[in-house]
Chain A
Amino acid sequence: MLSESAAWLIVAYPALGAAVLLLGGRRTDRWGHYLGVATVLAAFIVGLSATLGQTGLAPDQRVQHTPLFTWLSVGELRVDVRLLLDPLSLTFVLLITGVGALIHIYSVAYLADDPRRRRFFGYLNLFVAAMLLLVLADDFVVLFIGWEGVGLASYLLIGFWQHKPAAAVAAKKAFVVNRVGDLGLLVAMMLMVGAFGSLDFDTVFAAAGSNGGTATAIGLLLLLAACGKSAQLPLQSWLLDAMEGPTPVSALIHAATMVTAGVYLITRSHEIYAAAPDARLAVALVGAATLLFGAIIGCAKYDIKQALAASTMSQIGYMMLAAGLGAAGYVLAITHLVVHGFFKAGLFLGAGSVMHAMHDEVDMRRYGALRAALPATFVTFGAGYLAIIGVPPFSGFFTKDPIIEVAFGTGGPLGLVLGTAALAGAGLTAFYMTRVLLLTFFGPRRWARQTHPHESPPTMLVPMVVLALGSAGAGLLLWLGGRMAGWLAPVLGEPVEAGTPHAAWGWTALVLSVVAAGVAVAWLQHARPTRQAGSWLVRAARRDLYGDAFNEAVVMRPGRALASWLAGPAERDLDRAVTGVGGTVARGAAVLRTAQTGYVRGYALWVFGGATLLIAAFLVGW
């Protein structure tokens, strides 16, 4: 059993791996990917032993601060680098390192032919290390380092195939959109320093309770930050483009690391939101809007990875909605996040396996009838499918169903709106996932004659099987006896019963019938040959519901116009000032250059003149 003082090893292992792989150069090409896998596995083992150590403790002792060193001390502000080990951060550590390790193993085979594989593993390790630092931080400054590190790593990974212009553009887009969100976190931190004089979690949370106005402002700014990382409205546009990166990256971003950061931030700051009901309402509304937005896009996409990405957006929307519902929702948000980590990673790795078999074809219109050619992929993908649409006893059922119930349980018109959105989202999820499954694995074969789909190597299949088992069983395991709620209680407070009347079976039946309706509609629609043209909604969804067009019209073009308007006079006057200074210096130099005759006597005369002047100055009495 490792003591909590070894907690820094969790971050240090992957960070060390990234350093060795990125600084070591070509010397590490031959064994670099094994080191990448080993460091994440090592971090997982340390995290697991820390978790086992905590389960043996009494609940009130499960929050452990481990100081590392004092980073900076400026006036009143003092920033200590400390790690926070509590059930919430350890849950994330296990998810990040566990799912992350599986994705690493899968990548060994998936990128076997890529000449830059070693670099890829360096970036993956960096991603994992940054995310671990983010969740283990005990104050907002250290969290911010991890936050930015995740942004950097995602930029490097999305643009990993940099020879493709689309990948480079997507990486830049992800980075820029995330910066907008980061601005929220930065301003929130400034507010905290200004209002509370500290960035420490405990101090800030304690102070926020007594200051509703500031708490609301901070809460809204943190929501902006979370929107950037978790691809929520209005900062959702980078997520679909991020599919340009290699598929394991998509799995890592969507299941274990980046997009979970926003949900983590909101949940970690739940005491701020407790003091700011308005900000919490905003979280719930953003979540509800995004879950519908993502689900509608998912219904229309033909690119298998983009359909899954839209699904992630929608599922994260569920988590945000749950987090916005307050005490009853936080545990559900985290539990849904954990099981989503399993099934979404499994789905993405399955999609990667299909692409591997189909020579990187991503258009589902060229798939079809793959269940015979790829039986193992079909079964594992099927497990993820059943989990995400929420069929009992697969994991999604145990988290999505309660979220819908709690949303309805808010009561009043608000509860009706949020609940209906969540319920409609469940139906849409069933529809688009069934569509993906049917287009890919069923129906007539639509691939070219020279394509010979073949099952992936075991290095890829084993992680997929493990994730499929997780997708199938994790929900039941976590749900049994309120295990997850009890485990998270030291951080999130004792579980609160939802306000729903205890006709829970009625709600479940309603949700399941909506899901069944979604499946049925998809089945009926795809029993016939696919139609090319769709309604206006389908056409809009295929273009990401005009998210990019909106950004371009509202932000990019006015911004560019403003910049060029500002740049005109600035460039003219600045140019004049700069060339003026340069010209003066040049003219002065031309004058002084004539003094450089190269004659010793000339220089001696200067010396004499200077000395005479000095003596004269002394004599006059300056």
Chain B
Amino acid sequence: MSPESYLYLSAVLFGLGAVGVLTRRNAIVVLMCVELMLNAANLAFVVFSRMHNGLDGQVFAFFIMVVAAAEVVVGLAIVMTAFRDRRSSSIDDANLLRH
């Protein structure tokens, strides 16, 4: 199978994630969609690494995993706090800063 196929897969995954972020209201689901986008990016990096015979892409993928893990920890903590505060995990309710 040629590497380009993986790139198409990555694009599809990224698009799915993006649509999820833009359309879903539940904060948990939005975070999962962000993870999906990050993984799509990771896949693209690994494919590029393979295509160019270098390890740079793989290293980037590792970094993204670490950052993503950190982000999820902080993001989930925020979501939990917000949920405890207002019994809702809808991100549309969290627009207090506008006022």
Contacts and interface: CB of A to CB of B under 8 A. Distances in A.
Interface in B12-44: 18, 21-23, 25, 30
B95 A601 contact: no
B98 A596 contact: yes
A277 B30 CA distance: 92
Contact of B22 (A596, A597, A598, A608): A608
Given A608-B18, A608-B22, A601 B91 contact: yes
Contacts of B99: 598
Given A604-B21, A604-B22, A605-B22, A599 B91 contact: yes
A601 B22 contact: yes
Interface in A580-598: 596-598
Interface residues of A, number: 9
Contacts of A604: 21-22
Contacts of B74: none
Contact of B94 (A596, A597, A600, A605): A600
A598 B18 contact: no
A266 B23 CA distance: 86
Interface in A544-603: 596-601
Nearest to A608: B18
Nearest to B27: A600
A605 B21 CA distance: 9
Interface string B75-99: 0000000000000000110111111
A598 B97 contact: yes
B21 A597 contact: no
Interface residues of B, number: 14
| Chain A, interface SS category | helix
A601 to B, nearest CB: 6
Interface string A504-521: 000000000000000000
Contacts of A601: 21-23, 25, 91-92
B63 to A, nearest CB: 20
A604 B19 CA distance: 10
B48 to A, nearest CB: 16
Contacts of B96: 598
A608 B22 CA distance: 9
Contacts of A597: 95, 98
Contact of A600 (B18, B23, B91): B91
Nearest to A612: B18
A462 B30 CA distance: 92
Contacts of B23: 601
B41 to A, nearest CB: 12
A604 B24 CA distance: 12
Interface string B31-70: 0000000000000000000000000000000000000000
Contacts of A599: 91-92, 95
Contacts of A605: 22
A178 B95 CA distance: 63
B67 to A, nearest CB: 17
B65 to A, nearest CB: 22
A600 B22 CA distance: 9
Contacts of B21: 601, 604
A565 to B, nearest CB: 51
A618 to B, nearest CB: 16
Nearest to B34: A604
A600 B75 CA distance: 13
Given A604-B21, A605-B22, A608-B22, A598 B91 contact: no
Contacts of B95: 597-600
A605 B22 CA distance: 7
Contacts of B97: 598
A602 to B, nearest CB: 9
A168 B49 CA distance: 82
B46 to A, nearest CB: 20
Nearest to B21: A604
A601 B91 CA distance: 8
Interface string A605-618: 10010000000000
A276 B30 CA distance: 89
Interface in A164-206: none
Contacts of B25: 601
Contacts of A598: 95-99
A599 B96 CA distance: 9
Nearest to B92: A599
A593 to B, nearest CB: 10
Contacts of A600: 30, 91-92, 94-95
Contacts of B91: 599-601
A534 B96 CA distance: 85
Interface in A69-86: none
Nearest to B97: A598
Nearest to B18: A608
A601 B30 CA distance: 9
A605 B30 CA distance: 13
A14 B22 CA distance: 73
A598 B96 CA distance: 7
A606 to B, nearest CB: 11
Contacts of B30: 600
A596 B97 CA distance: 10
Given A598-B98, A599-B91, A600-B30, 17 more contacts: A596-B98, A597-B98, A598-B95, A598-B96, A598-B99, A599-B92, A599-B95, A600-B91, A600-B92, A601-B21, A601-B23, A601-B91, A601-B92, A604-B21, A605-B22, A608-B18, A608-B22
27 contacts: A596-B98, A597-B95, A597-B98, A598-B95, A598-B96, A598-B97, A598-B98, A598-B99, A599-B91, A599-B92, A599-B95, A600-B30, A600-B91, A600-B92, A600-B94, A600-B95, A601-B21, A601-B22, A601-B23, A601-B25, A601-B91, A601-B92, A604-B21, A604-B22, A605-B22, A608-B18, A608-B22
Interface of A: 596-601, 604-605, 608
The 5 A-B residue pairs with the shortest CB-CB distance, nearest first, are A598-B98, A598-B95, A600-B91, A604-B21, A601-B22
